Chain A
Amino acid sequence: MEQEAVALGHDVQVVDPDVRGYVYSLVTALGGFNGEDADKYILGDDALACLRDIKRWLKLYDEKNNRMDVARCLGEANLVNGDLLPILSIWWDNGQKSKHMTRVALACLELLVPLTWPIEYHSQMTVNHHRHTPYLQQTQAQYKRGILKYGGTNLLRAVIRIALPSMAIPRSERESRDEGILKLMLYLIRNVAIISTNARLAAEGEEEEVSRSATIDAFQAQDAFALILTMCSNVGDDFNMQDVVLLEILFHLVKGVNVDKLFMEEDQRKAKRTDELGDLLQKESLVRREYAKNAPTRHGRFGTMIWVKRDDAKVSTVSGQDVLRDDQTTLQKMDQSKKWNKPRPRRKKEDVVQNNNFNMPTHLSGSASKNLRTFVEEFLDSGFNPLFTHVRKAIEREAERVLDINSRQFFYTVGWFLEAERARRVSQMKKRTEQGKSAKETEPDSYGLVAGALNQETFITLNRAMQSSFDNKEWDDLNAQMRCFTQILLTVQEMALSPIEEDQEIAENIQNRIFYEETTHDRILAIVRGYKDQGFGYLDAATELAHVFLRMLERYSKENADMQIRSKRKAKRKKKAEQLNGQEAAGDEEQNSEDEEMEDAVQVTKERAFDFKRFSAKFCNQSCVDTFVAFTEFYKELNSEQLKRAHRYFYRIAFKQEMTVLLFRLDIINLFHRMIKGPGAIDNTKSVFKEWEELVRQIIRRLVKKIDQRPALVTELLFSKMNNTVYYLEYGQEKQTLSTA
């Protein structure tokens, strides 16, 4: 009986009642609003001791037992919004001179940090965690709302104020207590930046007040941005240990923000928004029109039924008036009415990366855009090089404060700011020309501001990280690294066009270094070939990298006709040796493994001339095509830049490499046909549509011709092509190879 009650009752005790009792009594003893003067918070007699006791509860009960009970009780007792924030506001208004009050304020901060610490779903969660997490996520959103805007006081500013005395001390004279205070303040800012409403829980109208826009506006209004800037630009001297937290704050501020939109002028953005609205309306009317085309013209019970005559005097029946229109809709309806779906392989459930997910786009309000943009520009001017150089060194050194996740955040943030720098240059250029000055009159800026991300050390770190993420299948990390690499390439490309001679030289040098290593080329190829279910964000990054890399390499190798690359090849000694003593070596395993070790050790490194044609031909195979097809499957959601990317690739396959056969597979043809002719075709008023239509037309024309020439294609259309027949199918003859005999 009792068990049943526990399982079903809605007032189940989820927390030990004793614990709850202790915690509640502490919160009550902390203080409260006076009965006579209801809007005045009165501190309890032993408030400081109470705060310390609560902290002890959190530490010795929750942390030690790996539970969340105390945190939950504190949430239910409304500690943060009911006590901590009022106390901080008293301190801010008239307590800063009192030593005691300052201590109390610090104790409040010490509680705020663990209470706002981000809660993620992960694989080692207990039942207790699962029970409390949704509740705590919701209360954290309320905490954040309170911290960002508590009555008339600026509590963020108050928190920063607590740490200012410690900041003012030079690092050499700072005690560990001061470092601790700095850390607390920065972690609170980071927590505030992270917390957002959980999409899976009802947010009760708090989305606006805890959104990214609200965060950015509050950071601007309460000088958190100024603080971050100061610390970033002095990270090398005074704030050595704070680099990683600063990186985290930046990451959580900019993740998912669209750089292009950020750097638009206000009127431009408005125009863009109007365009977007127009676009959306048009899209909607397109959907409606398409529906109207096939919509029944009579009532729903009109009852039309037709026969589809088939071979051997068989017929199929299809019902509905829409099928009368043409063969195409009839066949579509026949297909749609099938009930069975091919079972999809179940995807392995991975840890949900909620807080560190940068694939979700974020929308900013007008004022937030302006504020963030100002901050970003100031950061680029003063903080970019010091911070990122410092963090990179910390990551390389595997410093203790660096977590695994920080490397991903580092690469994403570097990539994002590089893109921001390019966008800023474009908008500055525009402004100058608008003001009527020619480009020559004004001194062009050099790329020195972002040089910290364009040096050899960064490339080495990036290359090593990409390789290890790829080998260890850490796709999210690889995603961030690919985005970073793409942005580096694009920045270098623009640098090469800079009017400053020095910039050109440096760019030339960098390109030379990037393209010199053959391992880089091979890695990019391997990434594109190896796509399998890593999600759209990854697919987008991988295809973009391949696109940008190939185009730049093409241009660069054209300009430098005698480009050399360093290729590492394993020596082929072993095979020959085996052939020689094939008979004797059969039993001798030890010898064999020794041979293998030898083989690993012997790597021939040599320089050879680079041949772009041969390299790009490597992208011309079934697995690369499959990757781009998987990307194109999303055509309804892709923007024109992404559609162009896919278009260029298929164009390269079909007409530059002359391997249209790779595209002659029914699912691909089906996809292409659907993109142009529907249902669900690309909007035909867009310019990309014209390009795609032409491409698909050409491909189909070739297909039809080829089927006539080589009837075997009728069956081969069903399959991915085999390596040893693909050449014959394309050219109608075997590949000419020199006989070795």
Chain B
Amino acid sequence: GDPSSLGLDEEVKVTKKRQPIAKLDDNRLLSQNGIPKLRKAAKQKLRFKGKGHEFSDAARLLNFYQLWLDDLFPRAKFADGLSMIEKLGHSKRIQTMRREWIEEEKPRLYTGPE
């Protein structure tokens, strides 16, 4: 109200801010713990037995992802986490990254002398 009082008399209200809830967003997904880790771990650890062991291979694959997701975002159940990530996959940023990852492994085309 009064400009001369400089607001010194007014009580300062202190509201405690809530701890922000952790979110599974594209930042988290692209962070060190996210897809980069997944790609590295897949190269090192994901081994399949192949023909005749289809179902155990599938279980191995699913477990691999479940543990990764549990590290990345412990709050969510496996199925929930998967659907959240799937949704993120529609965003521009993630799509560009996905395309890059695919491009990385494509065989280099011969583009003529440089």
Contacts and interface: CB of A to CB of B under 8 A. Distances in A.
Chain A CB count within 10 A is highest, among B50, B66, B78, B90, for: B78
Contacts of A729: 102
Contacts of A667: 79, 82-83, 86
A182 B3 CA distance: 85
Chain B CB count within 10 A is highest, among A310, A667, A704, for: A704
A712 B101 contact: yes
A707 B39 contact: no
A256 to B, nearest CB: 32
Contacts of A439: none
Chain A CB count within 10 A is highest, among B57, B84, B89, B99, for: B89
Given A342-B84, A700-B54, A718-B85, A712 B66 contact: no
Interface in A123-181: none
Contacts of A703: 58, 61
A440 interface: no
B59 interface: yes
Nearest to A337: B77
Interface in B18-40: 35, 38-39
Interface string B78-114: 1110111110011000110011011011100000000
Contacts of B39: 711, 714-715
A20 interface: no
Instruction: Give the interface residue-count category, chain A.
Output: 35 or more
Nearest to A718: B85
Interface in A693-726: 696-697, 700-701, 703-704, 707-708, 710-712, 714-720, 722, 724-725
Contact of A722 (B50, B62, B66, B99): B99
A327 B74 CA distance: 19
Given A673-B62, A712-B105, A722 B95 contact: yes
A724 B95 CA distance: 11
A711 B57 contact: no
Given A666-B65, A677-B55, A340 B82 contact: no
Contact of A704 (B50, B59, B80, B95): B50
B16 interface: no
A336 B57 CA distance: 22
B62 A327 contact: no
Contacts of B17: none
Contacts of B65: 666, 717-718
A338 B77 contact: yes
B70 A334 contact: yes
B98 A340 contact: no
Interface residues of B, number: 46
A725 B77 contact: no
A340 B75 contact: yes
A712 B104 contact: yes
B43 interface: yes
A729 B106 CA distance: 10
B54 A697 contact: yes
Contacts of B46: 707, 714
A593 interface: no
Chain A CB count within 10 A is highest, among B50, B76, B98, for: B98
Chain A CB count within 10 A is highest, among B42, B54, B89, B98, for: B54
Contacts of B80: 340-342
Chain B CB count within 10 A is highest, among A342, A697, A718, for: A718
A259 interface: no
A665 interface: yes
B89 A719 contact: yes
Contacts of B74: 338
Contacts of A528: none
Contact of A720 (B48, B78, B86): B86
A670 B79 contact: yes
Interface in B60-76: 61-63, 65-67, 70-71, 74-76
A334 B78 CA distance: 10
Contacts of B13: none
Contacts of B82: 666-667, 670, 718
A718 B75 contact: no
A731 to B, nearest CB: 12
Interface in A529-575: none
B76 A338 contact: yes
B86 A719 contact: yes
A335 interface: yes
Contacts of A710: 105
Contacts of B101: 712, 715
Given A340-B75, A341-B77, A673-B59, A728 B51 contact: no
Contacts of B54: 696-697, 700-701, 704
Given A666-B65, A716-B102, A718-B89, A673 B77 contact: no
Nearest to A671: B79
Contacts of B98: 715-716, 719, 722, 725
Contacts of A310: 67, 71
Contacts of B61: 669, 703
A315 interface: no
Nearest to A712: B102
A737 interface: no
A52 to B, nearest CB: 64
A692 to B, nearest CB: 12
A676 interface: yes
Chain B CB count within 10 A is highest, among A310, A696, A700, A729, for: A700
A328 interface: yes
A701 B50 CA distance: 7
A700 B58 contact: yes
Nearest to A725: B102
A669 B58 contact: yes
A655 to B, nearest CB: 16
Nearest to B67: A310
Contacts of B51: 701
A76 B1 CA distance: 65
A221 interface: no
Contact of B57 (A334, A341, A704, A725): A704
A281 interface: no
Contact of A711 (B76, B77, B105): B105
Contact of A677 (B41, B59, B104, B106): B59
Interface of B: 35, 38-39, 41-43, 46, 48, 50-51, 54-55, 57-59, 61-63, 65-67, 70-71, 74-80, 82-86, 89-90, 94-95, 98-99, 101-102, 104-106
29 contacts: A310-B67, A311-B71, A328-B63, A331-B67, A338-B74, A338-B77, A340-B80, A342-B77, A665-B86, A666-B62, A667-B82, A672-B58, A673-B55, A696-B55, A697-B54, A700-B55, A701-B54, A703-B58, A704-B54, A708-B48, A711-B105, A712-B101, A714-B38, A714-B39, A715-B35, A715-B98, A716-B102, A718-B85, A719-B85
Given A338-B74, A719-B85, 20 more contacts: A310-B67, A334-B66, A335-B77, A338-B75, A340-B75, A342-B76, A666-B62, A666-B82, A667-B79, A667-B83, A670-B79, A673-B55, A673-B62, A700-B55, A701-B54, A704-B54, A707-B46, A712-B104, A722-B95, A725-B98
Interface of A: 310-311, 316, 327-328, 331, 334-336, 338, 340-342, 665-667, 669-670, 672-673, 676-677, 696-697, 700-701, 703-704, 707-708, 710-712, 714-720, 722, 724-725, 728-729
Closest 6 CB pairs of A and B: A719-B89, A342-B80, A700-B54, A714-B42, A712-B102, A697-B54
